[in-house]
Each structure stands twice: as C-alpha cells, then as structure tokens.
Amino acid sequence: MENNLWKPRFYFPNWIFLFVLLIWFPIFAENQITLRSIDLQSYPEVKVRVHASGINEANDFTISEQLLDTARLTDNLYWNRHPEKNPLNLYLSLPSYTNAEDRRWLLTLANQLVKISEQSGGQTKLHIQSDNSFHVFDRIRSQVLDVSFPYPKEQTPQFPIRNWERLVESIPKINSTEDHILFLVSFSKEWPDRFEIPEFAKRIREKNLKLIVLSPNSLEANKLVSYAKGNFYSIAKQESIESLFHDLQDTTKPDWILTYVSPWRLSLWKENVVLGTLSSVNTGINFEFQYQISPFQTIYRTLSDPLVFFPVSLFLILLCLAALYYLRGYERPQTSQVAIQHIEPVSLVETFERKDELAVYDRMYGETLEKAAKDREIALLTKEKESLPGTSYTYAVLQVREGNQLYEPVPLQWNEMTIGNYESNHIVLHDPSVSGLHAKIKNRKGKYILFDCVSEAGVYLNGRKLLRPKVLHHLDEIQIGKTILTFRGRY
C-alpha cells in the first residue's frame, strides 16, 4: 500500500491497556466464510455458493450432513470459482478536515476505496460528517475525488454516532447477497454519545450491512465492532491500513461454488431439514449451513426452471386461444317466430331509452343486461294481458317544499321528468347531498312511476327507502335530500 496513507496522528502510552484491548476485540477476522446461496435444483446434487476470505485454495475440506441425530460424510466434493467478481458496495462516512494535509489524506483514502468498489462492479455513497448538515454524494466516482473536489469543511462532530445514524436511515434494507459495507472513519478516540452504541449496532444488523471502523484504538470503537459483528482497523498503524485494503481486495474476489452429492438422497416431497458442516483440520475452519426440503419448495423450483416454465406458459396461452376460437361463434338462442309476432314494433328512440334503463337496473339491482333484456321481452309479450297496479290520473303536479319554503307546483307534463342537482334536469334541487341525476318520474298511460337513478343518498317514499320503482298515488310524499315533493293527481 502507498505510504501516503500512513499518517501517525495518535500515540498511546498505555501499551498494556492496548494489548488487553487487542486480545478482547480482534482487529480483523481471517478465514471468514460467508454463505451466499444454496442451489437444490439438481438434488441430490447440492451447490453451495460461499465467499471465503483468506482462503486461496479450497482443499483439505470435508463436508458432512446431519439429519436429526445422525451425520454422514460425503466423498464427492468439488470446488469451482464463480465466473464473475463479487460486487462491493460501500457507504463511506468521512470526517471533515482541519488543514490541507488532512484534506489530501482523506481524498486519497476515499479515492482508493471508491476505485476498489468500481473495479468490482459496485457503487459508493460518500457521507461527510457534520452536526448541522447532511452532506451525501450518491454513486460517486473515483475520477472526481481529486484536489478540485468540493470537500465540505465542517467542525468536528460532537455526536459521531448520531451522524452515522442519519446515514444508516437513508440506506434501504439490503435483501441481496452482495456485500454492502458501512465504512466509518473517525479521528476521535472518545465518542460522547457512546451510550447509543447498542441501538446503533442493532440498526446496522437490521439493514443487513457489514461494518468496518477505521479509527484510533478505543473502547468505544471496539465495542461498536463487537456489537455489530464487524471489523476494526487502527488508523494510527500503517500495517493496519494495509491489512484493510488487502481484506477489501480479497472481498472482491469471485465466490467459491461447492458442489457435492448429498449422502442422504432424500425425497423431494417430504419435509426435511438438513444441517451441513464444512470443516478443515489445517485451517481450523468449521462452517455450518442449513437447507430445507419441502413439497412447496420443490414445486416452486420446478416451475421456476426455464425449461419447465416457458413450455407450460406456452401451453396455457395456446389453450386460452383455442377456447376463444371455439367460443367466437356462440350466439344466444333466438326468440321463436310465434313470439316475435306478438311483439309490438319498437322505435329507435325507445330502443336507446330501454338500454339506458337496463344500465340503471344493472347498477341498482345487480341484474345483468342480458337477464334484464330477457325479462323485458317477457314483459312485452304479456303487457296486453296485464296492467300496472295503481290509479291513472289525467293531470298531476309535484308540490315542492324545502324546509319552511313552499314553491309553486310543478306540473308533470312530460312522459319522463328528471330530478337532481344538474341544471339539465326538469326539477333542479340545489342541495349538495343530492346527486346530479337523482331520480325520475315516468308517465305510463296516466300512471306515474318513481325511479331511483342509483343515487348515493337514496330516495324515500312516504318515509321508506325506495328499493324498486313504484307507482305514485295521490298525496304521496317523496323525500330527496332535504326537499319534500308531494304528488297530487287529478282524475
């Protein structure tokens, strides 16, 4: 690593205290294995994708599977490198600077970290610590991190953990298997808000972030790393910074794919939980993983296979097209010629009028248009034999009363008169609770029929809500909103 990153800013006289800290809180972990995914598509062949830090050659490993209380070893064990690099996504938090030397050192550090992320195919989000402002640069590139970069100059934050909490809150929860690292840099040995460390570490784990802290060796920094299960690197030691870059480069290396044949060869249609153990005597690694076999997962894996999904989808599409093709010539049974002779000819205006009525019936009473049309045909066939109940009037009016205000009677001189809030109605009611087209009254051979046009507030006839069209009688009271309309008929 270049010497320009070596900056011995801090000195610690109490070497015994530091030695105890290093024993309790390790600077960084070696030979770590992280599980990426488990592929059971070709079971009993199992493919385990892992990332192994500090392991250059995957040999001298044994693998066993435990089912209930019995464990078995497998001899068929193969290692392969994944063809692609592992993307490294950084959320880098840097302190501000006090002089030109600090600014140059921080820009060099950020430039090299961002460059490692770019080379792996990842992205970097840069955060500058400040108590008063929130400086964030999304998807920053290494080319802009030079002497001309507009680095904000801020005072040293009094509460660094609260600064970092704001950064963590801006990061969405990570659901992918890629490495997302929260990289915190601090020049301070003491954090006044250290009582917030447990809660802050909990939020880091909830977001599925990996933590790296580069700071002076202190109890606060080691406590945060311990709670968040992260890595600590001393900012005052050149070898520690070199180890940091070495570990980051090792993180970007391609993952290992471990392929082996399960010694149990279980049925895919039964519930089983298998515990696997990967161990090595020379390196002392003992890595455990677990996978589950169930009928639901078997069906899901089968359908998600492109060799199964696309043929099944194509078959279902062809089946739907065939059904539409055979149903395209379907027609409703026609009315017999005998019935047609008894149906009176209907004008074009009445046809459109009936369609409008059928649409209202469909929304109001839940009847389909086809059923309503069929009932209409039956009614036309029998209308010569039956007549509407009620009294026929030669002349009728509506006496409109709104509160204590009584208006002039409105004669019902048209075959159909509408009532509502729209100005186009025959009777206009300026009431916000009244719908635009609220109700209508039809004259059929002297009998006046009241209809509710699917209004929101409803129509009330003699104190009862109108559920179906009814013939009006003399002195019937119609309530629409706050208005009372009294029907008066004359023989």
Average pLDDT value over all residues in the chain: 82
Residue 355 domain-assigned (yes or no):
no
Determine, yes or no, domain membership for 465.
yes
Output the pLDDT for position 136: 92
Q: For residues 407 and 278, state if they share a domain.
A: no
Report residue 450 as tokens.
């009241």
Binned at pLDDT 50, 70 and 90, residue 442 comes out as: very high
- Across the strands, what pairs with 488? 397
Query: Could you say which of 252, 286, 321 is where a domain stops?
Result: 252
* Distance of alpha carbon 305 from alpha carbon 93, whole angstroms: 42
Same-domain status, 149 and 242: yes
Q: 198-240: per-residue pLDDT in tens? A: 999 999 999 999 999 999 999 999 999 999 999 999 998 889 9
- Does 245 lie in the same domain as 112? yes
Pairwise CA distance, residues 235 & 400, whole Å: 89
What's the rounded Cα separation, in Å, for the pair 225 and 68?
A: 35
98 and 241 assigned to the same domain:
yes
pLDDT (tens digit per residue) in 449-485: 999 988 888 999 999 999 888 999 999 999 999 999 9
Buried b (16+ CB within 10 A) or exposed e, 234-272: bbbeeebbebbbebbebbbbebbbbbbbbbbeeebeeee
Q: Confidence band (pLDDT; 50, 70, 90) for 298?
A: confident
pLDDT, tens digit, for every residue of 23-72? 333 333 445 788 888 988 888 899 998 887 666 555 678 889 999 889 99
| Inside any domain, residue 228 | yes
Res 490: pLDDT: 86
Percent of the chain whose pLDDT exceeds 70: 80
22 found inside a domain: no
pLDDT tens-digit profile of 252-289? 888 888 899 999 989 888 899 999 998 887 777 888 99
- Quote the domain boundaries for residue 74: 33-85+254-296
